[in-house]
Structure 1
Amino acid sequence: MAFMAMGTRDGEQEELFITHQQLRSQSHPYYQAVNKVLAEKGFDRFAERTCAKFYAKKMGRPSMAPGVYFRCLLLGYFEGIDSERGIAWRAADSLSLRDFLGIPASKLTPEHSTISRTRRLLDLETHQAVFSWVLGVLDSAGLIRGKTLGVDGTTLEANAAMKSIVRRDDGRSYEEFLTDLAKTSGIATPTREDLARMDRKRKKKGTNADWYNPYDPEAKISKMKDGSTHLAHKEEHAVDMDTGAVVAVTLDGGTAGNTTTLEGTLAAAEQNLEDAREHAGEDSKRTHEPSEVVADKGYHSKMVMLALRLAGWRSYIAEPRRGRQHWEGETEERDAVYANRRRKNGHRGRHLMRRRGEVIERTFAHVLESGGMRRLYLCHQENIAKRLLVHIAGYNLGLLMRKCFGIGKPRCLQGQSAALWAALVTLWDLLASLMRLPGTADRENQQAPVQSPVLWLAQAAA
């Protein structure tokens, strides 16, 4: 009988030196493919050339390479990480992500403070240039058509608490405001229960005209989709309805109306498409100019319909029920509304209305829900926009990866393996049922149980 000594977790002499091959692990095939695409298109050279103006030309302390910084933000989408601390921790924990970032074993991965410091150093236009560069890659791959754009928006919970809001007129906090109200009503020394009771009885709560958060002044008091009240920002996407690529992303206060933000989003989309064509150069495959816009009924108004018509847009916007309208002195507005109604109710309009919910909502699901950006951990819209631009650039890269390799995100490999296994089990069950059909064998032989695929594979492996 052979005996072996039991190993202990502690107390062993550690090696003083180890080779790089001993730390090496097989890199993730998805990130290898992403790096291959970025290398072929010259992403690192473009990033360094674009960011050169922010760094000293001679001497200076070596900093994190721009290509590494933007890859860190791309990891936020690919891995579904919401914060820069989480990105830094994940990069330090994974050898495959270290390989994706291009950091050798002799160096440390970026700290979260290094990522945030680089974000503050690079301006918003630089992040916008990276977003447009990725659109140019999609353009050269035939994933940008650009004729029909779908627009929709959603709210993002800000990294600011309602308890921190102060009045715009005198700077009093909400608790101080309630304390003054309690003293005015006759309570000399109000307790927290008294303040909570008074807050519940107040008819008019905090409004954006009277209150703001000093840590994130651009965040607005908003009603979220679940009915709760939070400080929030509004994110709006312009999506290519033919390919699903996000061609523009804008950020406004949480209470900004859809009719007031549509024009800015369409203008940003037109500019981004032109920049993408410039980046693609002779490889550009986009043959259409943006000329059609699809949106839900929140974007419908007489002035919006007229403005879109004067700007040369063909609108397919759902119309809310407003009852009978009077058009005295508003002939142009009437013609624009009626033209939109005819297009919307036509065959193409009904098709675009169905596709709008499928294509546009998918971008929010991938970017915010599985991408981890529904809850923000940054303050001020400029910082949030920087993160969102590169985050959504990762979504667009996922479209290219899905076209080239059939996988849009690294975790989709798990889903495909599960789907393949389910297909094998279904095929096995089908074959087993055919073997049990009458006339294929004697009834005595039919009583023999059919071996499961799991047991069969285990025996084959043995």
Structure 2
Amino acid sequence: MQGRKDYTEKLFTSFQLSSRVPKENLYRRLRETLDLSFLYKDTKELYGKTGNPSIDPVVFFKLLLTGYLENITSDRKLVEHCSMRMDVLYFLGFDIDEELPWHSTISRTRQLYPSSLFETLFNKVFTLCVNGGMVSGHTQAVDSAPIKANASMESVVLKVPATSIDNHLKKVEDENQEGKNKNDPPNLVQITAPEHQLRRVKKHHQKLLDNPVGAPGASHEKAQLLSNKTHYNPHDPDARISVKPGKARKLNYHCSMAVDTAEGVISHIQADFADGRDSQYLPTVAMQVQNRLKKNELALTDLLADAGYSNGFNYKFLEQRNVQGWIGYSVLLDQAIP
């Protein structure tokens, strides 16, 4: 006999969310392992004593962690995704019929919290990993990646001075003439740049005038005129134009990450301008990692990095801090960072 399932929504139901989430589920294990109650104390001074209750700080950071684990960057999509996942709701501490916070509340809270609070959370979670035996400390792998900025190349504009050079020089000359005797010799503007530099600047300016930038990337010649020296995005002034071989230019940030080779635990992460080289960020990354490990009674002895971090200053810096630098060993780095 063929069966057929008829669905009639119940007005009342007996349902327990915890009984529907398997014991081996990742989010259930996170709920039982990760204690973020210290956030109430760390964020207490950021709130007043009157007004409507804010989003729970623990819920906020759990939402951010969920977004990272699910690879969701949109707050709107994150809330929609969490509302359909019973295991995530259980992790957040919400019942199946409770409304999650508005996506705009998440965005505003992220902007209001200082960066020091996020760093404090990172340090405490890292300490939990150390106490759990997940961090060896002695060997760290460093690598970088461009992070796409929330800005479009179509919106870049040309950097221009508030006034033209001629008007500026005339204004300077007029101001310097005030209070002088009319019989004094006129002010002379001296140009100290070499002749070849002046010719190069004049040629570059003329090239910009002859090739006004329309739609970025419309032609090869125009695309070459887009650079961080001449253009910026007013919606995200900190974003920088960067490019990888064989790929189009984009507005990016530069993300540097250090990973402990024992279990792949992230030991440090930082964001910088995308127009910088990997090598110039290595000293800061190495120093931050070494200090964080030292606070957890661990010592950094070996550091792996690709050839982009190679220069004499970095070798000397690591040697002075008693760290063996394995720079340019791509095979080791690929094994350390999946």
TM-score (norm 2): 0.76
Q: Tell me the secondary structure at the aligned position of residue 15 of structure 2.
A: helix
Could you tell me which residue of structure 2 aligns to residue 216 of structure 1? 236
Select which of 218, 226, 241 maps to 1:206: 226
Say if 1:241 and 1:356, in contact at 8 Å, map to a contact too. Answer: no
> How do 1:177-188 and structure 2 match up within 5 A?
none
* Corresponding position: 1:301 with 2:311: yes
Percent of aligned pairs with the same residue? 26
Aligned-pair CA distance for 1:252: 0.9
Could you tell me which residue of structure 2 aligns to residue 111 of structure 1? 102
Select which of 350, 355, 369 maps to 2:332: 355
Could you tell me which residue of structure 2 aligns to residue 337 of structure 1? none
Aligned-pair CA distance for 1:64: 1.4
Aligned-pair CA distance for 1:202: 4.3
Say if 2:268 and 2:288, in contact at 8 Å, map to a contact too. Answer: yes
After superposition, the Cα gap between the structure-2 partners of 1:306 and 1:183, relative to the gap in structure 1 and judged at 3 Å, is closer
Say if 2:142 and 2:256, in contact at 8 Å, map to a contact too. Answer: yes
After superposition, the Cα gap between the structure-2 partners of 1:306 and 1:25, relative to the gap in structure 1 and judged at 3 Å, is same
After superposition, the Cα gap between the structure-2 partners of 1:309 and 1:55, relative to the gap in structure 1 and judged at 3 Å, is same
* Corresponding position: 1:146 with 2:137: yes
Say if 2:259 and 2:267, in contact at 8 Å, map to a contact too. Answer: yes
After superposition, the Cα gap between the structure-2 partners of 1:77 and 1:225, relative to the gap in structure 1 and judged at 3 Å, is farther
Select which of 320, 325, 330 maps to 1:315: 325
Could you tell me which residue of structure 1 aligns to residue 15 of structure 2? 21
Partners of 2:155 and 2:222 in 1: CA distance: 19
Partners of 1:124 and 1:183 in 2: CA distance: 39
Could you tell me which residue of structure 1 aligns to residue 257 of structure 2? 237
Aligned-pair CA distance for 1:111: 1.7
Letter in 2 for 1:27: V
Q: Tell me the secondary structure at the aligned position of residue 104 of structure 1.
A: coil
Structure 1 gaps, min length 5: 172-180, 278-285, 319-351, 363-462
> How do 1:63-142 and structure 2 match up within 5 A?
63-105=54-96, 107-142=98-133
* Corresponding position: 1:36 with 2:27: no
Aligned-pair CA distance for 1:201: 3.7
Letter in 1 for 2:12: I
Say if 1:224 and 1:230, in contact at 8 Å, map to a contact too. Answer: no
Task: Report how many aligned residue pairs link the two structures.
Answer: 293
Select which of 292, 314, 321 maps to 1:272: 292
Partners of 2:74 and 2:217 in 1: CA distance: 33
Aligned-pair CA distance for 1:313: 2.1
Partners of 1:244 and 1:201 in 2: CA distance: 44
TM-score (norm 1): 0.57
Could you tell me which residue of structure 1 aligns to residue 299 of structure 2? 289
Could you tell me which residue of structure 1 aligns to residue 266 of structure 2? 246
After superposition, the Cα gap between the structure-2 partners of 1:24 and 1:357, relative to the gap in structure 1 and judged at 3 Å, is closer
Which structure's residues are more often helix, by fraction? 1
After superposition, the Cα gap between the structure-2 partners of 1:26 and 1:226, relative to the gap in structure 1 and judged at 3 Å, is farther
Deviation string 1:53-108 (CA, Å, 9 cap, x unpaired) is 2112x332111111111111111132232322221111122233211100134531
Q: Tell me the secondary structure at the aligned position of residue 36 of structure 1.
A: helix
Could you tell me which residue of structure 2 aligns to residue 160 of structure 1? 151
Aligned-pair CA distance for 1:228: 1.3
Letter in 2 for 1:55: Y
Partners of 1:160 and 1:168 in 2: CA distance: 17
RMSD: 3.3
Partners of 1:119 and 1:108 in 2: CA distance: 20
After superposition, the Cα gap between the structure-2 partners of 1:183 and 1:82, relative to the gap in structure 1 and judged at 3 Å, is closer
Q: Tell me the secondary structure at the aligned position of residue 53 of structure 2.
A: coil
Q: Tell me the secondary structure at the aligned position of residue 214 of structure 1.
A: coil
After superposition, the Cα gap between the structure-2 partners of 1:20 and 1:264, relative to the gap in structure 1 and judged at 3 Å, is farther
Could you tell me which residue of structure 1 aligns to residue 182 of structure 2? none
Say if 1:244 and 1:359, in contact at 8 Å, map to a contact too. Answer: yes
Partners of 1:264 and 1:211 in 2: CA distance: 28
After superposition, the Cα gap between the structure-2 partners of 1:18 and 1:316, relative to the gap in structure 1 and judged at 3 Å, is same
Could you tell me which residue of structure 2 aligns to residue 48 of structure 1? 40
Say if 1:258 and 1:298, in contact at 8 Å, map to a contact too. Answer: yes
Partners of 2:41 and 2:293 in 1: CA distance: 21
After superposition, the Cα gap between the structure-2 partners of 1:294 and 1:22, relative to the gap in structure 1 and judged at 3 Å, is closer
Q: Tell me the secondary structure at the aligned position of residue 138 of structure 1.
A: helix
Deviation string 1:230-279 (CA, Å, 9 cap, x unpaired) is 0111111111123321100011111211111001111221233345x2xx
Partners of 1:294 and 1:82 in 2: CA distance: 29
Structure 2 gaps, min length 5: 163-205
Q: Tell me the secondary structure at the aligned position of residue 58 of structure 2.
A: helix
Partners of 1:24 and 1:242 in 2: CA distance: 33
Say if 1:135 and 1:273, in contact at 8 Å, map to a contact too. Answer: no
Partners of 2:283 and 2:133 in 1: CA distance: 26
